[in-house]
Amino acid sequence: MIKKTLLSTLATTTGALVFSMAVAAGTSANAATSDCIADSAINSAALSNTGASGPFSVSTKTVSRSSANGFGGGTIHYPTNAGGCGLIGGIAVVPGYVSYEDSIKWWGPRLASWGFVVITINTKTIYDQPDSRATQLSAALDHIISDSTVGSMVNRNRLGAIGWSMGGGGALKLATSRSAVRAIIPQAPYYEGSYGTMNTPAFMIGCEWDTIAPTRQHVDVFYNNASGPKMKIEVNDGNHSCANSGYNEALLGKPGIAWMQRYIHGDTRFNQFLCAKENYGSIYRVSDYDYANCS
């Protein structure tokens, strides 16, 4: 009898403890920047600023090539004062063919200052093809999830990817195979053949006079085939590098931050800067603007 009572008490206590831990973990996992970014901080001017000018302070950590498993090293950008946000989204950013991290590095501090852990990477070789870049994006996401500095900050189920050129093709490919990737930004994306069915929320960036990945043969096709929430901005008079570091950061940072907040963190306060709520087509630097399936 005593033995039975003891076992019953232990089961009840253990069950209560497990339940409490699950509730605590769920609360932490579900918390997002809606809990820690004030409404007053979310405005067009703030989102259009460049650099690490969001509501959070940003620090960086170098990932050496030798310590990177499955990609070519890079830089982790992370908010240092976002502890009240709970777990936050993680984003990996990859450059294009024969290009390096510096070409896409601007996304790192920009997004980190708005409450994301971001890793901007180099590839194993500059000649890696889109499918390889997809694999390396995934490896980079795994790296930040397990990193000793930022791993405890990242929600492994709320991830994103950004890529330029063949890296944009890699982001499209990754979105078809890793369900935790909740949003992507392919910029001047390049992909030959089929990467599969893609229904992940996608903000696609095209460059009007792109001769390497012409918009009509690449980004327009990818955009038309995407079945999930989607938005497209084509940069007026832009060449293949129109969305790279030093080019159009103010123009593209605003919708980029809003897109990732909306679809990675689920923060609907950023809807006001997306799709029908914001007429990017009226801006002289935009030659084409479209959206569909926005929620």
Which residues are tagged catalytic?
Answer: 165
Q: Helix 130-146 to helix 166-175 angle, to the nearest 10 degrees?
A: 70
Q: How far apart are CA 210 and CA 96, in angstroms?
A: 14
Residue 82 has which token pair? 């976002």
Q: How far apart are CA 154 and CA 156, in angstroms?
A: 6
Nearest partner of 197 among 177, 218, 183, 176, judged by Cα: 176
Q: Give the bridge partners for 207, in sequence order.
A: 235
Using CA atoms, how far residue 130 sits from 14, 80, 191, in Å, is 48, 33, 7
Residue 288 has which token pair? 């084409």
Other beta carbons within 10 Å of 225: 14
